[in-house]
Structure 1
Amino acid sequence: MSSASRAAEAVTRLILDVFRANGALLAAGDRLVADLGLTSARWQVLGAVAMAEAPLSVAGIARAMGLTRQAVQRVADDLERAGHVRFAPNPHHQRSKLVLLTPQGEAAYRAAAERQGPWAEALAQDLDPAALALAAEVLRAVSRRLAETSPANQEAGS
């Protein structure tokens, strides 16, 4: 087997492991924040808004999180109905509103963040920090490669 074939096989195994880990992560995140009226998806969007240096639109959140605009819009609409975010005019784009946390949303995000620390500590127990850093580096490299080879980027380069 060529080294390229071995690498392709390793990438395939990594992708399958990421899919399994993603499913487990979403389910665990849902359990962690369910009593706060959140899901993993809602928590993810709240986090993107809370951690942004400047207010973001739905499209900006989608870009920052590597999600589709439509998926983020659905979650943002859910968060608005729940009172966690509000939409505000965007001075840079008339039709693309900014997503802002409400006091209720800030409180929910803070409560989720307080739980995340001990949860991460438990997950990290007996794992090598250097191995975790390498795993994160590999995932970022794969993500960059996926972004570079996306059909949209290939069409833009044509």
Structure 2
Amino acid sequence: MNEPAELLSAAALRAFRLNGQFLEVAEGLARPSGLTAAWWQVLGAVLHEPLPVAGIARAMGMTRQGVQRIADLLVEKGLAEYRPNPAHRRAKLLQPTLAGREAVAAIAPAHRALAQRLAEELGMDAFRDCLAALTRLSTALDRLPPPP
């Protein structure tokens, strides 16, 4: 195997591990407020502006069907609601309800505490470097054509 192929494999494996770690942390942070990591992710995507399911899926790197299932559950639980979409009659906009906003807000103290501990573990400069490297990698992957 050549070095670029080895680097791609190593990066993918590390990203899969990191994704698992983030999901485990997110589940632990979300659980006390009655959310799952996936519910938190979808609610977080619409905290600042309502979005259609397809827009949430694009922003979060999820499938449209997966977001639709979660959005329907959030609406059923009273944590979100569908609103008319002036740009598209059939693609309704999802927005959090007051209960959804309160559930997400309840996560904030533990989230801040974890962020502080991680910043202390890494150091702020290294933490920023990690984010920059992840952003560069994601941007580069976005620019590549899909594999055949």
Structure 1-normalised TM-score?
0.84
- Residue 37 of structure 2 corresponds to 40
Measured against aligned partners, the alpha-carbon deviations of 1:53-93 in whole angstroms (never above 9, x if no partner) come to x3211111112222221111111111111111000110000
- Residue 21 of structure 2 corresponds to 24
- Residue 101 of structure 1 corresponds to 96
When structure 1 is superposed on structure 2, of 55-64 and 91-100 the one drifting more is 55-64
- Is the counterpart of residue 10 in structure 1 residue 12 in structure 2? no
Unmatched segments (≥5 aa) in structure 1: none
When structure 1 is superposed on structure 2, of 105-114 and 84-93 the one drifting more is 105-114
1:115 shift after superposition? 2.0
Aligned length: 148
- Residue 126 of structure 1 corresponds to 121
When structure 1 is superposed on structure 2, of 103-112 and 113-122 the one drifting more is 113-122
Paired residues of 1:45 and 1:61 also in contact (CA < 8 A): yes
Q: Structure 1: which amino acid aligns with 2:134?
A: L
Distance 1:43 1:150, change over 3 A: farther
Unmatched segments (≥5 aa) in structure 2: none
1:118 shift after superposition? 0.6
- Residue 65 of structure 1 corresponds to 60
Aligned-residue Cα RMSD (Å) equals 2.0
The aligned runs of 1:73-88 (5 Å cut-off) are 73-88=68-83
- Higher normalized contact order (CA 8 Å, seq sep 6+, divided by chain length): 2
Q: Distance in 2 between matches of 1:120 and 1:78?
A: 29
Q: Distance in 2 between matches of 1:126 and 1:92?
A: 46
- Residue 140 of structure 2 corresponds to 145
Percent sequence identity over aligned pairs: 43
Q: Distance in 2 between matches of 1:34 and 1:110?
A: 13
1:45 shift after superposition? 0.9
Q: Distance in 2 between matches of 1:139 and 1:104?
A: 33
Deviating 4+ runs (over 4 angstroms): none
When structure 1 is superposed on structure 2, of 12-21 and 126-135 the one drifting more is 126-135
Paired residues of 1:88 and 1:98 also in contact (CA < 8 A): yes
